Chains A and B, each alone.
Chain A
Amino acid sequence: MAKFRRKKGKGAQKINTSSLPDIIFMLLFFFMVSTTMRETEVQVNIRIPEVSEVKKLEQKSLVSYIYIGRPNRGLQAMYGTEPLIQLNDKLVNEEGIPTDAVQDFVLFEREQLPEVDKNKMVMSLRIDEDIPMGKVDDVKQALRRAKALIINYSARKDYENQGR
């Protein structure tokens, strides 16, 4: 009996934290494996549409990104609210012809690829749902002129309508 009483009298016990690092490391490895590095800062607002037939993009090194959306709230004072094109990480903001910038961008990106992969380049179009198609058609025409013909309309998997 005396033994029990003495234990109680000691007050709050310390929790053993020796396995805490292990738990944190486990979380760390989970995030390291399941995420990818953030490469560009997106300066336009984009809500990706959801459709049912999406496929995963295989080789990330072959992919270049074209974003089309309205500027972020912080940038609206500078650029207004008209849809803008962002190529990888730079915003096309000159008044002139944005499609020329798209063409230059494609040529530049193609230069970065090794010789064997030059015609496998994929342009990923990340476009906001509400953007009118006129802007998208302009970009598509520019891509055709630049001979970047493999495109990928970025979309998320829509699980609700899958069985339709």
Chain B
Amino acid sequence: MAKRELQEINAGSMADIAFLLLIFFLVATTMDVDTGLTRLLPPIPEEEQKDEVQVNKRNVLVVLINRNDQLMVGGEFGTRVDELKEIVIEFFTNPQNDPTLPEKETKEVEFPPGSSPLLPPSGVWVGNVSKGVISLQNDRSTTYKKYLEVQNELVAAVNQLRQDFCKLYFDKDYDELNMNKPNEKEISEAIRKIYKMNISEATPKNIEGLN
């Protein structure tokens, strides 16, 4: 009788059971992760605004995509998509204070005190912030692919500026700021105040109004 307790359970079908589960998971699940460009749509104005916000002409960079997926950037026809990032970076930084590029305004942005040796101990950054706005307009026949490529370049340009700032002041990659740490979250938010994602998307309805 004592011998019976030593008997092993037959585990030969274990592999079959595991296979069955494996195949179930292979069929019922997908591997694609959700990635993409997150953007904010402008809210619909409460009532008809007759007086449109006056924006100085030099502060607007108009990016047009026509029905044949060709670009017109700042009045120049035939820009390639891969040139766009440089143009946008120059537009936002305006390094030579060119009178045809956007104005800047002096602004104070608070960083966490003592977070960078390049900032005063109080952590207040004082500098010039661009007033530039990018106006993106497309035709109804533009392909989505082209539109997204252009959007991507605009986002890439702003990300590049943020990254450069973050690297210079905090010796960190902007992407790697941990949003769960209050200190780094504050830094990230402050950088976003300096380099704003000012992309206005005209609706096809009011294209005439903006030209």
Contacts and interface: CB of A to CB of B under 8 A. Distances in A.
A32 interface: yes
B21 A18 contact: no
A147 B143 contact: no
Interface string A73-91: 0000000000000000000
B139 interface: yes
A100 interface: no
Nearest to A19: B15
A21 B26 CA distance: 17
B2 interface: no
Contact of B29 (A38, A129, A141): A38
Given A52-B152, A53-B152, A129-B143, A150 B18 contact: no
A124 B34 contact: yes
Contact of A145 (B17, B30, B44): B44
A155 B156 contact: no
B140 A137 contact: yes
Interface residues of B, number: 48
Contacts of B148: 49, 51, 153, 155
Contact of B39 (A35, A63, A153): A153
Contacts of A121: none
Interface of B: 11-12, 14-15, 17-19, 21-22, 25-26, 28-31, 33-44, 82, 85, 138-145, 147-149, 151-152, 155-156, 159, 201, 203-204
Given A144-B42, A149-B43, A152-B37, 5 more contacts: A51-B149, A137-B203, A147-B43, A155-B36, A164-B85
Interface of A: 17-18, 20-21, 24-25, 27-28, 31-32, 34-38, 49, 51-57, 60, 63, 122, 124-125, 127-134, 136-137, 140-141, 143-145, 147-157, 164
